[in-house]
Amino acid sequence: MLKTQGLQTLEQIRAFLEGTQPLGFDVPARNDLYDWIASELRRFRYQRLGKAEKGLVRRYLEKVSGLSRAQMSRLIRQFLDTGAIRDRRGKPAKPFPRRYTDADIPLLAEIDALHGTLSGPATRKLCERAYTLFGDLRFERLATISNGHLYNLRGSRTYQRLRGSYEKTRPARVNIGERPKPRPDGRPGFLRVDSVHQGDLDGIKGLYHINLVDEVTQFQFVGSLERISERFLLPVLEALIQAFLFVIRGFHSDNGPEYINRQVAALLEKLRIQEFTKPRARRTNDNALVESKNGSVARKHPGYAHIPGRFAQRVNVFTQKVLSPYLNFHRPCFFPIEEIDDKGQVRKRYRYAQMMTPYEKLKSLPNASEYLKPGMTFEALDDIAYAMSDNETAQGLNEARAELFRYINNAQNPAA
């Protein structure tokens, strides 16, 4: 028990706090301490004291008990409400109900493994589509997950346990192609193109990928070829252009000599593509869309390892027949909304509500059917787009990629 019997009046307490009144005491157990605090509050009739006297008693109780101001405030509030002070630590805290269960983390890991760990919004869209569009009831909770909590689940120990050089093209000054910025004005058919090299090994060149992206819908086709030369480039480039569902009106490339030449210009004229443009001087973001797709697609799916050019034909079948349909019908993309700020400058905003697949973006355009090539209808294309779910298509993509790399590895390292 605390030895405070010598403090009978507020003046004695004031003197004690000022250090002029000696007092010896021992701190008791918690329940005894709480009983003592309650008895002192009753003895000094704390409820009836003025503000200054209440502060004096409070400081006295804090000094003797060793409790902090916040702790003493809670105990005094409990005393005023109930007339006593009890230790509430024995009562288990009632936790917030869990919205996402332990089954959702393996499900998130599964969808990330299938689609290659896309951004948070893209993964949210895939979960939403899996539940609302393809009827997968397992994604009922993940269909409404927020970006922040999605990354929380990715950072969990369960998730972590489950998931366990290029050449720059040389500039060439050729009077082919115009330098104005393409102006699609909301119409599909204005392509951005770039090349991605699959690396060198011991002085041996790897194969190349051709990446074609439509500026408005982000429809994308990827092809592979053995070398960047007229013999290999033109057939693949023509096949990629003709694979688009809509009429192509413009073709925009960087200043690389693989595209800025008379052979490519003749091919575009043959395909009746009206605009052939190249980047403007000191405008580094003119080809930003396809450059970003190089990293998120052309580099991500084939990987960074060296692939010899002799495997280009087999890789090309994979990129055109397996990878490209997945990108266009099942991989969500952000589509910016242009807004004018207070300074009159145009700002691009990327809202989750505007995230959709390239095919959905094409269908959402005004009078979208007018842009399709002759003989194509959205009814027939819907059968292709929704024949398999996003996850089923991603599973097929991963299996085809694994089979492709098994073939390449076996061909390079035959069994003895």
pLDDT in tens, 246-305: 999 999 988 888 888 889 989 989 998 888 888 876 666 777 888 888 888 888 888 888
SS3 content of the chain, % helix, strand, coil (to 5): 50, 10, 40
**Within-domain flag for 130:** yes
Write the pLDDT tens digit of every residue in 357-392: 999 999 999 999 999 999 999 999 999 999 999 999
Q: Do residues 232 and 144 touch, judged by C-beta distance below 8 A?
A: no
Other beta carbons within 10 angstroms of residue 124's beta carbon come to 22
Report how far residue 213's alpha carbon sits from residue 192's, in angstroms, rounded to the nearest whole number: 5
Report how far residue 136's alpha carbon sits from residue 126's, in angstroms, rounded to the nearest whole number: 11
* Structural domain containing residue 26: 10-82
Torsion angle, CA of 273/279/284/288, rounded to 10 degrees? 10
List, in sequence order, every residue forming a beta bridge with 212; answer none if it has no partner: 193, 221
Question: Tokens standing for 56?
Answer: 């004096």
Mean pLDDT for the stretch of residues 144-171: 79
> Burial, 187: exposed, middle or buried (Cβ in 10 Å; 0-12, 13-18, 19+)?
buried
The residue out of 142, 162, 182 marking a domain boundary is 162
Rounded to whole angstroms, what are the CA distances from 272 to 179, 238, 247, 250, 268? 19, 12, 10, 10, 6
Q: Which residue type does 275 have?
A: E
Overall domain count for the chain: 3
Mean pLDDT for the stretch of residues 65-80: 89
**Within-domain flag for 127:** yes
> Burial, 175: exposed, middle or buried (Cβ in 10 Å; 0-12, 13-18, 19+)?
exposed
Give me the phi and psi of 106, to 5 degrees please: -60, -30
Same domain, 289 and 341: yes
Same domain, 41 and 77: yes
> Burial, 137: exposed, middle or buried (Cβ in 10 Å; 0-12, 13-18, 19+)?
exposed
13-27, 57-71, 111-125, 398-412: the lowest-pLDDT one: 13-27
Write the pLDDT tens digit of every residue in 170-189: 554 545 656 667 778 889 99
Q: Do residues 236 and 210 touch, judged by C-beta distance below 8 A?
A: yes
List, in sequence order, every residue forming a beta bridge with 223; answer none if it has no partner: 210
Half-sphere exposure (Cβ direction) of 179: Cα atoms closer than 13 Å: 10
Q: Which residue type does 346 have?
A: V
pLDDT for res 3: 54
Same domain, 32 and 154: no
Share of the chain above pLDDT 70, in %: 88
Decide: helix, strand or coil at residue 346: strand
pLDDT for res 167: 45
Q: Do residues 293 and 220 touch, judged by C-beta distance below 8 A?
A: yes
Choose between 165 and 367: higher pLDDT. 367
**Within-domain flag for 286:** yes
Same domain, 151 and 214: no
- Nearest CA to 221 out of 322, 313, 291 is that of 322
Same domain, 146 and 272: no
Q: Do residues 264 and 234 touch, judged by C-beta distance below 8 A?
A: yes
pLDDT for res 92: 62
Q: Do residues 320 and 243 touch, judged by C-beta distance below 8 A?
A: yes
* Residue 168 scores a pLDDT above 70: no
Give me the phi and psi of 333, to 5 degrees please: -135, 155
pLDDT for res 172: 46
* Residue 352 scores a pLDDT above 70: yes
Same domain, 197 and 231: yes
- pLDDT class for 5, splitting at 50, 70, 90? low
- pLDDT class for 169, splitting at 50, 70, 90? low
* Residue 344 scores a pLDDT above 70: yes
The residue out of 31, 47, 82 marking a domain boundary is 82
The chain-wide mean pLDDT, for the chain, equals 86
- Nearest CA to 393 out of 105, 119, 111 is that of 111
Torsion angle, CA of 285/287/291/297, rounded to 10 degrees? 130
**Within-domain flag for 177:** no
Report how far residue 215's alpha carbon sits from residue 194's, in angstroms, rounded to the nearest whole number: 13
pTM of this structure: 0.69
Return all residues near 307 (Cβ < 8 A) that are at least 6 apart: 198, 199, 206, 207, 315, 408
Rounded to whole angstroms, what are the CA distances from 403 to 277, 395, 408? 39, 12, 9
**Within-domain flag for 246:** yes
Write the pLDDT tens digit of every residue in 190-231: 999 999 998 888 878 899 999 999 999 999 999 999 988 888
pLDDT for res 27: 56
Decide: helix, strand or coil at residue 26: coil
Same domain, 158 and 196: no
**Within-domain flag for 227:** yes
**Within-domain flag for 171:** no
- pLDDT class for 416, splitting at 50, 70, 90? very low
Same domain, 134 and 261: no
pLDDT for res 283: 64
Q: Do residues 245 and 373 touch, judged by C-beta distance below 8 A?
A: yes
Positive or negative: CA dihedral 261, 263, 269, 271: negative
Same domain, 122 and 76: no
Same domain, 366 and 226: yes
Same domain, 127 and 247: no
**Within-domain flag for 49:** yes
Decide: helix, strand or coil at residue 222: strand
Report how far residue 130's alpha carbon sits from residue 117's, in angstroms, rounded to the nearest whole number: 16
> In this structure, what CATH number is given to the domain that contains residue 385?
3.30.420.10
pLDDT for res 165: 35
Same domain, 75 and 142: no
Mean pLDDT for the stretch of residues 20-47: 76
pLDDT for res 101: 86
